[in-house]
Structure 1
């Protein structure tokens, strides 16, 4: 057969068959589809066959390739030190369920250290290694508590990747505006256009950004479209006014008290009650003061309470919810809402010039004390009043593991949140010293990390007492987990004495000493690992 005969161009249809024919006859006699004769024809044939094979396996019709995505925005932050980058890879490689289950052993829980590592890396201003971003986004996808720190660390590339992978779309939802660039402050035309025509997330991001730098401008922008917004959108926009809330917001919030949405009205009333000088706060003060007085007719002064007998229209307009929850009396329900929304500065003048501590110490008639003190607790948290919070918390060694007005651990935790970090730690340390760890978990959660030396000492001492009691450590696993993450790493050297297995007595649960020694070994190992991680992040 003469191999130098004139090549024949393959037809357009039946591409695979044409490729097979070209391969059988040879590229000198048969030009591959879309190819050209010459020395490069065999390579073109193999390339075309590879592409067609992939197409056939995928079951898709061949089409023109899509355009390449725009490059991700540059991340100007410095790269991690090499040792810290390797540590991040190890933390991300650890997954829940990779262990054998059952007893944890002495190995640190790396996934529980990841949030702290991310916080430390963000505080130092490092950028995430590009190769670590997929694993980082996968970890954040499975744990919502990781998302804020993980997305801050991932930077602009997280949004870029999220647009390409549906599994990471949460990054678009969690990033205000889905990563969209907001117009500069001076570009009023683009600001107005984005506010009127943008997606909801973009509008929220725009309003929040303007509110942060110029509260009045954000409020005025919101007012331009307020009547036409959907109820759920009005609620979200109104919530953004919490940042920078001030007296100038009062006229707009007063207007929102007449909104057709009950949730919007309630939020507006809550914001107004956080402004002690507002007209709503004054109206609430008049109502609440009419319900509370001091009775001097007995041997000692007492607070008397006469709860409202009805919830009228004006009360409802000011945010009082008329219908009580199941199991609550209507009058006590209304009374609690009035006191909660009343400026705390009302009470010293109303109750004989007494200080908050003296007021809280007064007995209350007719079993109204818990209701009144609980409402004062909520008011202290809402108004961020540390003096009232101290009075309601009482001393940490008070009987019944609580102060005179704190009706629950959750309420005490919220009151502690109004105090400075040092004062919170001191109070919780005293609480643990007096009452042990059985009720301390929620309170420890509001303390700054790492724990102060007195608080750390109180936790370790309480754990040691629990160990000596001879019970199993499992009931303290939550506190032990917090200690692994929150104790100052420098405390590790103090714990070596707790690593030995104590002698068992008749009152000791079988094997409890070994379990405790294992738990303390894990605590020490974790603290030392945290110390190493901090040094890796600080390495030049």
Structure 2
């Protein structure tokens, strides 16, 4: 458990705020049924300890169409003001009174702050304008880009860099024109941000220019014994290449031409190599001269991440296993990651950081078969830890805190009996308590959701 919610935040709820909530004005009517008393009490308990099961609870409450009881609106708004993680969920549960109250109390401004306040963008300080721009990118990215287009020439260099970096939120093909404009900026920082974002747009003119360079520098050669990828780098760069972010300097002592190749292959659409070679699998299998092979594979890997290409990410996972970069694993479709785990290929490292990356983002709740596999691995760890006779160490429950928290949060309710059984059979007192606590918390989740019914 973590410390309870700071009392000063609850104390800040004034009596007049409660009185305002009690006024049932027609324009603030909310036809949704109020939360059952037991569920409302349960919600406040979960918020008090900042429970990691709150997303599941909020999703269930929203699905059933509940609203917060009037008596809790003021307290919930105070918590929403200090809790960015669950602010939107709380405001949605409160309903129309959320914005109404926030408009009357400045310290509750965050829920009421709208991205449509163009006066902030046109007349505010840079800090406020950047906050507005970031908020607008989250809700209406095309409109935000249009506003920046309009003011671009009047923005200071360091401000342009911050705005271009903020385009990462909601990035899409509609941002291409603005990013192309940024490539000609006199600020190196602005140009660098623009290049980074353009590399994530495989359908852009920038990607097409990089693909054209890649076709000139890298060719498929058909030999009698085996087809290979031949690399023929230029001796110098033209102005267009420099504009696109291919720079004349050595990178990590790997050679300037290796660096040029890395930049171009990273930015070229992965579909280029599929057309040239056949598929992601064929690309990783094709013969490449030793001097260039590492560069090509690293660049393909980075391109996979930037372009969020699931097919290439899946191929990398199948080939590299636990050596696959975590940023690549997150792109592999959830069902493929689950199949990979249930096949047993991830067993040796399922409880480690690399293995946990495999389960990040899997649909909630996790299937029982996954829970059984993880519980089996945890029981093995508990047995080995019992032999050490110590409370701490890499095999202790303390070293597996994140795994146990994930179990409490994502295991299906039917996994609780398996955890109780694990507690009964382990010889380690610490692990016995850990298994029992995880099972009890899963039962607690089940009770909380049943109350909503």
Contact 1:344 1:380 in 2 (8 A): yes
Structure 2 equivalent of residue 112 of structure 1? 52
Q: Aligned partners of 1:79, 1:457: CA distance in 2, in Å?
A: 38
Equivalent residue number for residue 98 of structure 1: none
Shift of 1:160: 4.5
Alpha-carbon shift at residue 524 of structure 1 (Å): 0.8
User: Kindly tell me: are residues 140 and 497 of structure 1, through their superposed partners in 2, closer, same or farther at Cα, counting changes over 3 Å?
Assistant: farther
User: Is residue 82 from structure 1 mapped to residue 37 from structure 2 by the alignment?
Assistant: yes
The one of 413, 426, 445 aligned to 2:339:
426
Give per-residue Cα distances to partners, 1:105-157, cap 9 Å, x unaligned: xxxxx63333443454455554445536547745873x664455455556663
3-state SS of 1:258 partner: coil
User: Residues 17-28 of structure 1 correspond to what in structure 2 (within 5 A)?
Assistant: none
Aligned to 1:393: 317
Check whether the contact 2:182–2:194 (CA below 8 A) recurs between aligned residues.
yes
**Shift in Å, 1:348:** 2.8
Structure 1 distance, partners of 2:176, 2:103, is: 40
Distance in 1, matches of 2:403 and 2:17, equals 51
Change (3 A) 1:502 1:272: closer
- Matching of residue 245 in structure 1 with residue 172 in structure 2: yes
Alpha-carbon distance in structure 2 between the residues aligned to 1:266 and 1:124: 47
Aligned match of 2:300: 376
SS in 1 for 2:116: coil
Tell me whether 1:415 sits opposite 2:331 in the alignment.
yes
Query: Where do 1:133-532 residues align within 5 Å?
Result: 134=75, 137-138=78-79, 141=82, 145-147=85-87, 149-150=89-90, 153=93, 157=98, 160=101, 164=105, 172=110, 179-180=113-114, 182=116, 196-197=122-123, 200=129, 201-202=131-132, 205=135, 209-211=139-141, 215=142, 219-231=145-157, 233-235=159-161, 237-238=163-164, 239-240=166-167, 243=170, 245-246=172-173, 249-294=175-220, 299-305=225-231, 313-320=239-246, 330-351=256-277, 354-366=278-290, 368-394=292-318, 401-402=322-323, 406=324, 408=325, 410-416=326-332, 419=333, 421-430=334-343, 431-433=345-347, 435-438=349-352, 439-470=354-385, 471-502=395-426, 513-532=428-447
Distance change in 2, residues 1:242/1:499 (3 Å): closer
Could you say what secondary structure the match of 1:111 adopts? coil
Q: Deviations over 1:448-475 (max 9, x none)?
A: 3222334333322322332344443333
Cα displacement string for residues 42-82 of structure 1 (whole angstroms, at most 9, x for unaligned residues): xxxxxxxxxxxxxxxxxxxxxxxxx9999689484653222
Q: Are 1:498 and 1:517, in contact at CA under 8 Å, matched by a contact in 2?
A: yes
Q: Distance in 2 between matches of 1:85 and 1:323?
A: 61
Task: Output the TM-score relative to the length of structure 1.
Answer: 0.64
Equivalent-residue separation in structure 2 for 1:69 and 1:307 (angstroms): 72
1:356–1:281: structure 2 CA closer, same or farther, 3 Å change rule? same
Unmatched 5+ stretches in structure 1: 1-66, 95-109, 184-190, 504-512
Deviates more, 1:523-532 or 1:366-375: 366-375
CA contact (8 A) 1:195 1:206 kept: no
Contact kept, 8 Å, 1:473 with 1:515, in 2: the verdict is yes
The CA distance in 1 between the partners of 2:19 and 2:161, in whole Å, is 36
- Check 1:401–1:124 CA distance in 2 against 1; reply closer, same or farther (3 A cut): same
Distance 2:350 2:17 in 1: 61
Equivalent residues of 1:501, 1:514 under 8 A apart: no
Considering only aligned residues, what root-mean-square deviation do their CA atoms show, in Å? 4.0
Quote how far apart the aligned CAs of 1:344 are.
Answer: 0.9
Give the secondary-structure state (helix, strand or coil) at the position aligned to 2:98. helix
| Structure 1 residue aligned with 2:11 | none
Structure 2: which 5+ residue stretches go unaligned?
A: 1-15, 22-26, 386-394
Deviation at 1:356, TM superposition (A): 1.4
Aligned to 2:388: none
Name the counterpart of 2:391: none
Shift of 1:529: 0.9
SS at structure 2 position matched to 1:440: helix
2:10 maps to which residue?
Answer: none
Residue 377 to residue 253, structure 1, CA distance change in 2 (3 Å)? same
Aligned partners of 1:319, 1:298: CA distance in 2, in Å?
38
Could you give the per-residue CA deviations for residues 151-178 of structure 1, whole angstroms, max 9, x where no partner exists?
5556663794597475x6xx63xx5xx5
Q: Cα distance, 1:528 vs. partner?
A: 0.8
Instruction: Decide which structure has greater helix share.
Output: 2
Q: How many residues align?
A: 414
| Superimposed CA distance per residue, residues 318-338 of structure 1 (whole angstroms, 9 cap, x where no aligned partner) | 134655666765444443222
Cross-structure match for 2:9: none
1:327 and 1:132 map into 2 onto residues whose CA distance is 60
Q: Return closer, same or farther for 1:467/1:150 CA change in 2, 3 Å cut-off.
A: same
Which sits farther off after the overlay, 269-278 or 67-76?
67-76
- C-alpha distance in 1, partners of 2:138/2:322? 41
User: Could you say if the C-alpha distance between residues 520 and 325 of structure 1 is closer, same or farther in structure 2, counting changes exceeding 3 Å?
Assistant: farther
2:346 partner SS: helix
Rounded to whole Å, the distance in 2 between the matches of 1:70 and 1:240 is 43
Report the Cα distance in structure 2 between the residues aligned to 1:370 and 1:459, rounded to whole angstroms. Answer: 35
Deviations 1:194-227 (A, max 9, x none): 753465244554565444xxx4x66544422222
Q: TM-score, normalised by structure 2?
A: 0.75
